[in-house]
Structure 1
Amino acid sequence: MSDDPAESREYRIGELAAATGVPVRTLRYYQERKLLPPPRRVGRIGLYSEDHLARLRMIGSLLDRGHTLEGIRELLSAWEQGRDIGAVLGVEKAVTTPWSHETPVTMSLGELAELFPGEVDQESLKQAVELGILQMDGDQVTHWSRRQLDASVALVRAGVPLAEVLAAGRQVQRGLDELAAVFVEMITTHVVGRIHDQDLDELTRTLAELRPGAQVAVEAGFARAMDRRVRAEIDKVLGRLTSS
């Protein structure tokens, strides 16, 4: 043990709570969930070390990154078993880094209504929120994607009712959810499932390399499907025109 008093300091549970900003009740809960090792006992007093303090700061950092407590417990368990937590977190980052880089747009309800004249009502707002397209905060709304907002405005200005745009969005979302499930299952089974058979750094690189391939496959497949559908509809329109 170091002779440095700052490094060898021990804390009672109230002092640990004050030092970390974590309530005593939460500290006890962490101990029950095996996230925090038990303290050193001196009679009935529990004494926590600087290691406990560092661990709590790590837990807080992981919570801020969106991890669940169960996920944190597994990460800490991997760390305790000798895995490099940096490598483990590298895999986590490769998996959870957002696949889209959309720019959200915040505006007032009045500004939204001006983009869709006569189309914005309580029902359309409710549907947009349910689809995850909009978030509402009082009189302010945030659309998750500038590009999608612009596309929706263009469709409505071309004559497509907003209700139809939202209905199409719901159908597209169902299809995309199913497609995402296919890719996730494939990657989980054939790549992540081999996590014990390969180096974590290699797994991180592999996952990063797969991301653009999955996106290209979806974009190229959709473009090809649109080509087929548009040509078929054009043929129908031309057929009606030539027969009239």
Structure 2
Amino acid sequence: MAADTEHPEAARRGPREYRTEELARRAGITVRTLRFYRERKLLPPPRREGRIAWYDDHHLARLRTIGALLERGHTLTGIAELAEALDQGRDVADLLGVGTPTEEEPIRLTPEELAARFEGEVTPENLAAAMELGYLGTDGDKIVHISRRLLDVSSALVREGIPLAEVLTAGARVREHAEALATLFSDLILRHAPEEDLHRLRPLARSVVEAELSLAMDRQLNKGE
């Protein structure tokens, strides 16, 4: 069938392209459902050649993600809002910065994997707040979290019953203090050492902050005794 035939130009370029019927078949949905999703703006527009619509693997991945989110109880309205937020989000280059040194490990996830980490808490509002904080960006169909450690801690707090919105609000406040501490230590080091030593000495600054935070938590715990 023509619907199952790979477009010859796509074969020469490399990425696979699909006509409407084949995309629907591969995603396990009907053509009518595919068109409905497109009308609801759950899918980016296809590439067109005359009256023929050509879809690619990004569309297929989005359809499979929609199916997985529906199975987890998300509504089409919620999925549409998430898709819009992701499509308008900053990309990975804006998130990480070109050539910016970091000790944190970014992690790439599908929307389905992110939803699984924060069951029922990945709302458009929380997604927008995380993007505003600089925690999240996009890389094609993937979501990029700037720090695996922050992602793990955030999801652990949510599993303990703390709403994600409050975790993000706390993160914004911590960011303010962290920026001030980073400025303090950077200024201290640069007053007495060349700029190239800043990266080498940053673990010392981190150790001071971790120790002081640990002592502060001790004081908070002792208040109740």
Q: Which runs of 5+ in 2 are unaligned?
A: 1-96
Q: In structure 1, what is the Cα distance between the partners aligned to 2:180 and 2:205?
A: 14
Are 1:130 and 2:128 matched, yes or no?
Answer: no
Q: In structure 2, what is the Cα distance between the partners aligned to 1:171 and 1:120?
A: 20
**Could you say which residue in structure 1 is the equivalent of 2:218?**
227
Aligned positions of 1:96-115 closer than 5 A: 97-98=101-102, 100=103, 102-115=104-117
Change (3 A) 1:231 1:138: farther
**Could you say which residue in structure 2 is the equivalent of 1:217?**
208
**Could you say which residue in structure 1 is the equivalent of 2:192?**
190
Instruction: Indicate the SS of the match to 2:138.
Output: strand
Between structure 1 and structure 2, the one with the greater Rg is 1
Aligned positions of 1:1-244 closer than 5 A: 97-98=101-102, 100=103, 102-137=104-139, 139-192=141-194, 204=196, 207=198, 210-232=201-223, 234-235=224-225
For each residue in 1:139-171, what CA deviation from the matched residue of structure 2 results, as whole angstroms up to 9, or x when unmatched? 421112222211111110111000000000000
Change (3 A) 1:229 1:172: same
For each residue in 1:53-103, what CA deviation from the matched residue of structure 2 results, as whole angstroms up to 9, or x when unmatched? xxxxxxxxxxxx958xxxxxxxxxxxxxxxxxxxxxxxxxxxx753x2x22
Question: What is the root-mean-square deviation of aligned Cα atoms in Å?
Answer: 2.4
TM-score (norm 2): 0.51
Change (3 A) 1:223 1:210: same
Instruction: Indicate the SS of the match to 1:119.
Output: coil
Instruction: Indicate the SS of the match to 1:135.
Output: strand
Q: In structure 2, what is the Cα distance between the partners aligned to 1:227 and 1:217?
A: 15
Instruction: Indicate the SS of the match to 2:119.
Output: coil
**Could you say which residue in structure 1 is the equivalent of 2:57?**
none
Q: In structure 1, what is the Cα distance between the partners aligned to 2:198 and 2:116?
A: 43
Q: In structure 2, what is the Cα distance between the partners aligned to 1:97 and 1:181?
A: 16
Instruction: Indicate the SS of the match to 1:178.
Output: helix
Change (3 A) 1:147 1:210: closer
Per the TM alignment, residue 120 of structure 1 is displaced from its structure 2 partner at its CA by 0.7
Change (3 A) 1:178 1:120: same
Q: Letter of the 1:221 partner, please give it.
A: E
Q: Letter of the 2:201 partner, please give it.
A: L
Change (3 A) 1:207 1:140: closer
Q: In structure 2, what is the Cα distance between the partners aligned to 1:209 and 1:108?
A: 34
Q: Letter of the 1:229 partner, please give it.
A: Q
Q: In structure 2, what is the Cα distance between the partners aligned to 1:191 and 1:145?
A: 29
Q: In structure 1, what is the Cα distance between the partners aligned to 2:118 and 2:98?
A: 35
Q: In structure 1, what is the Cα distance between the partners aligned to 2:148 and 2:122?
A: 18
Change (3 A) 1:137 1:213: closer
Q: Which runs of 5+ in 1 are unaligned?
A: 1-64, 68-95, 193-202, 236-244
Change (3 A) 1:139 1:231: farther
TM-score (norm 1): 0.47
Instruction: Indicate the SS of the match to 1:124.
Output: helix
The answer on whether the counterparts of 2:186 and 2:198 sit within 8 Å (CA) in structure 1 is no
Change (3 A) 1:207 1:117: closer
Structure with greater helix share of residues: 1
